[in-house]
Structure 1
Amino acid sequence: MAKEMQRQGGRSARIQAAVHAAVRSLGPGATVPAIADAAGVTPSTIYRRWGDLSELLADVAVERMRPAAPPVDTGSAYGDLEAYALQLADEMTTAVGRQMLRDVLGSDCAPQCRDFTMEQLAIMQTRADARGEPFPDMAMDLVIAPILMRVVHEMPVDEDFVHRLMVRL
């Protein structure tokens, strides 16, 4: 994972961007020397900054998993959560999604992904509060976690499964 003390912008940001781009362009099976070569840095730069290849891959995955927008506002707490769960299932069951999840789960970056999900749930909670609706406090445990667990174990996660989780919630 990128170290906390790095400045935003400047050389550090350029190195991170170049290394991340190299990882994405080289794809699965990339090695630190190949990534360093493609990014125009030395392998020691990668090791110093990320520690090892798995942490670098997790850092790249976290950036790709960062939500680009708030969850869809459907007009109801149930609808918002269901739309979010369906989108999560759709994105994570792709080959890329499964690999990103694998890269992140065994790394120091896992709490960042958890925080992304908690932020999305908090947005839905705020909307529900503004509408005077209850929002389920077990959404993470009863909807999100089962989806991610099935993704990790390469079990089916389809629309019907998500609907059954929502009904149980």
Structure 2
Amino acid sequence: MLEQRPTRRPGGRSARIRAAVHQAATDLIAERGYGHFTVGDVATRATVADTSIYRRWGTLEALLADVAMTWLTTTSPIPDTGGLEQDLRTYAANVARDLTGPDGLAVLRLVIALSSAGEAGVRARDAFLAERGRQLQGMLDRARDRGEHPPDGMDVLDHILAPMYIRVLFGAGPLTPACVDTLVDRLLAPSAVARGTRTGGATGRKTELA
């Protein structure tokens, strides 16, 4: 009779520990703000040994950078609806949903705080922004491949993402579906295209929407 080996569960203990540590760090950011807790506080909240955190991440900044990047890469999926306008509307709705979710504000505050956390923090912030830019560019490149005329990624940031970030960070009004749709409308409006054409956009390219 063959001995049966125990079945490995996807992710396993390591994945559960990582999720617990991430959630503990996110909760502490929301409750205390960056710079007001330690690796030991995270370990206590996650009910793991602080040595486990040091062994896996090395520093608190590296852990928090991983928290921010993981949140970004597992939320706000990039849609592929077959058309630029619907892609933009779906993407904007996804971002609004995640920003107003339980961890959205904490992660935004974390990314801002990392900017003043020394070289490691700046690298983490830049990696976060680069990943957001990569996501956007993939969507815009697909539109261009379909023969459409997408705006620049910085135009999407200026017209859609930045206003949503400001509303959430400063509590400047709810991100209702109507509000999010209005932001997309403004990006797609002829006046927005004209502004981009006059200035050449953030990358120096002229942008025209059909």
Q: TM-score, normalised by structure 1?
A: 0.73
- Give secondary structure in 2 for the equivalent of 1:121: helix
CA deviation profile, 1:134-160 (whole Å, cap 9, x unmatched): 101111111111111211112221211
Aligned to 1:21: 20
Aligned 1:38-77 pairs, distance under 5 A: 38-42=47-51, 45=54, 49-50=58-59, 52=60, 56-67=63-74, 71-77=78-84
Tell whether the 8 Å contact from 1:76 to 1:128 is kept in structure 2 after alignment: yes
Bigger relative CO (Cα 8 Å, ≥ 6 apart):
1
Describe the SS at the equivalent of 2:126: helix
The structure with the larger Rg is 2
- 2:104 matches 1:86: no
For the structure 1 residues 20 and 111, does the alpha-carbon distance in structure 2 shift closer, same or farther, using more than 3 Å as the test? Answer: farther
Write the distance in 2 (CA, Å) between the matches of 1:110 and 1:44: 21
139, 163, 169: which is aligned to 1:152?
Answer: 169
1:75-114 equivalence runs, <5 A: 75-107=82-114, 108=121, 109-114=124-129
Superposition RMSD in Å: 3.0
* Matches of 2:64 and 2:147, distance apart in 1: 42
Q: Is the 8 A contact 1:102 1:152 kept in 2?
A: yes
- In the alignment of these two chains, the number of paired residues is 153
Deviation at 1:128, TM superposition (A): 0.7
Return the offset for 1:165: 1.0
User: Displacement, 1:58?
Assistant: 4.3
Per-residue displacement from partner, 1:47-72 (whole Å, max 9, x unpaired)? Answer: x822x4x6633432321221468511
Gaps of 5+ in 2: 1-12, 32-36, 115-120, 188-210
Pair 73,44 (structure 1): closer, same or farther in 2 beyond 3 Å: closer
Shift of 1:88: 0.2
Q: Corresponding residue for 1:167?
A: 185
**2: CA distance between counterparts of 1:159 and 1:110?**
28
Report the identity percentage.
30
Rounded to whole Å, the distance in 1 between the matches of 2:49 and 2:158 is 43
Gapped regions of structure 1 (runs ≥ 5): 1-13
